[in-house]
Structure 1
Amino acid sequence: MLSLKLPRLFSIEQMPQVFHEQGILFGYRHPQSSATACVLSLFQMTNETLNIWTHLLPFWFFMWRFVSTLRVTDILNDSYSWPLLVYMGASCVYPLASSCAHTFSSMSKNARHICYFLDYGAVNLFSLGSAIAYSAYVFPDTLVCTTFHDYYVALAVLNTVVSTGLSCYSRFLEIRKPGLCKILRVLAFAYPYTWDSLPIFSRLFLFPGESAQNEATMYHQKHMAMTLLASFFYSAHLPERLAPGRFDYIGHSHQLFHVCVILATHMQMEAILLDKSLRKEWLLANCKPLLFPQIAGAILLCLIFSLSNIIYFSAALYRIPEPELHKKET
């Protein structure tokens, strides 16, 4: 009978410090795992297994929804649906990138950083996709066709570039200045989200215009609540910080963060779909639609500059001396 030998797991004391996770004591994979061993770890209970599956399974769900929408959309002629398609495509990219990053991050120290650089780039692409959809369907009546609306997507592009660079840079401070690293990384994702959400905040709390008050409002509120909960788990490292070793495999904060992020995306998608449908007549009569060059240009600029950031910081990994990047200062 054929038998499959799963890779050996390690404790935190056996791992280089760059691989350490706060409150996680056991279940680490070999720090120089092969690609095959990384793939096999999907079917072995490690401290990364649920991090992978909590984004890999939703990727297929979001892909199914994306393909289903494509099938019923006249892509060439229905320009009103283009922002939705961009958003739904981006909602497939970030869970796939995240699951791949968690899968292959144990191949080496530098591979770990590069995997998460790509993950950060995918998250920021999703942020831009959200901004494009918000600009097309979610803006409150009072802010439609204002200067803020005109420059909203352009500044969202700039935010994604800065956010990718800041989040990548934060990894160079992970060992030497962990507190500053965490602050910069949280800031890198918090401020693009805040900018993207300004139309939602305005619509819910400042300008509840008639056409904007619909069934989507409840989903926007749920999306905001789940995003705040995800931010809490990401920042607080609870519950594993209170009981190190108890939540190594199931229930630690990064798994809970992943679940909350996916639920937030689901709520956001439902809200955008409802707004697109329910506000279509009003928006087409009162709002200038985003043109294809605007959408394509925004996505292209995001990809070019974010990838440039990733390439620059990946190259820097090999320029910086090993002790400076991976060892704690004495």
Structure 2
Amino acid sequence: MTSPDTTKTPKAPSLLSFNELPKWLQDNHYILGSYRGPSYSLRKSIQSIFALHTESVNIHTHMWGAAAILLGAFSVYQSISTRYATFTWRDTIAFSVWFFCAFLCLGMSATYHAVCNHSPEVNAITQKFDHLGIVIMTCGSFLSMIYYGWYCEPMLAYAFSAMITGLSVGCAVFSANPRTRTPAWRPYRAALFACLGLSALVPITWGLRSHGIEGMNLRITLFTWLSLEFACYLLGATLYATRIPERLSPGTFDVFGSSHQIFHVLILLAAGFHLKGLLTTFDWNHQRGAC
């Protein structure tokens, strides 16, 4: 008689349909299946990172994106710190602010999507940080570009930076309210984030009146990299709010291609465009000499 095989084979996590989820995990009713159920275990949630489910793309886009940002920060610093004799600690701060904010945004996003199925309490806490990360990255992007866009006009740079920071704090407070984190508030959250992005029109309009179209394009790559960055954020926010494409074909985009996943990819593209624009305006300011 052969003895029974006692070797335990790891099982893939059971996936649930939308209707099988508890209310605290129900967010997008156009995504019909492939959901992780509540784990009530940090270990189980982490182990499911490499399984295939509704959060897989969301986790990996921003997890590896955060790692790329961290590595990119060291690479960029080594490149720019020896490029010009006029390089100062202020340049280090300007780039560090953006890299730090981008890393926080992507890192907090990946963390939320990895453990959001843990429990209602962990879901609520990490969702706050996920929304806060969007605000932080938007603010960091503005601050770094404002520094170089108004490199020779520090008082204006301080004023615009204070405005953007104040608006960002307001958005953060709004996003932290438990009431506004519900699915019903999704369009309003998206609209608020879009308005925060559109607040860039204030310094841009000021700059266009002062320096003209060509001058602003040189200062902040307005019609090249910055425009591409804005387009990514605007498209992402629109898809996120309208839940396109999944609302057009419920169940088709459960694992790949949902609006939230597209938004994640667009955020990475926007980050790449911003960094390219930042490096371009950094070079322009240091090459033109004294103010």
| TM-score of the superposed pair, with normalisation by structure 1 | 0.75
Query: What secondary structure, in the 3-state scheme, does the structure 2 residue paired with 1:240 have?
Result: coil
Partner of 1:263: 269
Cα deviation digits, residues 114-168 of structure 1 (max 9, x gap): 11101122222222211221221124x9xx6386533111122211211111122
Partner of 1:194: 198
2:76 aligned partner, one-letter code: T
Q: Single out whichever of 112-121 and 1-10 deviates more from structure 2.
A: 1-10
1:249 aligned partner, one-letter code: V
Partner of 2:41: 34
In the alignment, structure 1 residue 165 sits paired with structure 2 residue 173 = yes
CA distance in 2 between counterparts of 1:129 and 1:172 reads 23
Partner of 2:16: 10
Cα deviation digits, residues 39-74 of structure 1 (max 9, x gap): 121111111111111111111211111011234538
Partner of 1:219: 225
How many percent identity over aligned positions?
22
CA distance in 1 between counterparts of 2:181 and 2:92 reads 42
1:170 deviates by: 5.9
Q: CA RMSD in A?
A: 2.7
Q: Single out whichever of 236-245 and 150-159 deviates more from structure 2.
A: 150-159
Unaligned runs of at least 5 residues, structure 2: 1-6
2:37 aligned partner, one-letter code: H
In the alignment, structure 1 residue 56 sits paired with structure 2 residue 69 = no
Cα deviation digits, residues 253-275 of structure 1 (max 9, x gap): 11111111110111111001110
1:250 deviates by: 0.8
Give the conservation status (yes or no) of the 8 Å contact 2:69–2:103. yes
Q: Single out whichever of 84-93 and 249-258 deviates more from structure 2.
A: 84-93
Partner of 1:86: 97
Cα deviation digits, residues 83-126 of structure 1 (max 9, x gap): 11211221122111100000011111222121110112222222
CA distance in 2 between counterparts of 1:31 and 1:215 reads 46
| TM-score of the superposed pair, with normalisation by structure 2 | 0.85
The 3 A distance-change label for structure 1 pair 62 and 198 is farther
Partner of 2:253: 247
Cα deviation digits, residues 241-295 of structure 1 (max 9, x gap): 111111111111111111111101111110011101122244x733xxxxxxxxx
Q: Equivalent of 1:185, from 186, 189, 192? A: 189
In the alignment, structure 1 residue 22 sits paired with structure 2 residue 26 = no
Partner of 1:45: 52
1:266 aligned partner, one-letter code: G
CA distance in 2 between counterparts of 1:219 and 1:199 reads 17
The 3 A distance-change label for structure 1 pair 170 and 126 is same
Q: How many residues align?
A: 277
Q: Equivalent of 2:153, from 105, 128, 145? A: 145
CA distance in 2 between counterparts of 1:260 and 1:120 reads 16
2:77 aligned partner, one-letter code: L
Give the conservation status (yes or no) of the 8 Å contact 1:27–1:249. yes
CA distance in 2 between counterparts of 1:11 and 1:272 reads 44
1:189 deviates by: 1.3
After superposition, residues 243-322 of structure 1 pair within 5 angstroms as 243-282=249-288, 285-286=290-291
1:203 deviates by: 5.4
Q: Single out whichever of 126-135 and 193-202 deviates more from structure 2.
A: 193-202
The 3 A distance-change label for structure 1 pair 170 and 229 is farther
1:247 aligned partner, one-letter code: F
The 3 A distance-change label for structure 1 pair 7 and 14 is same
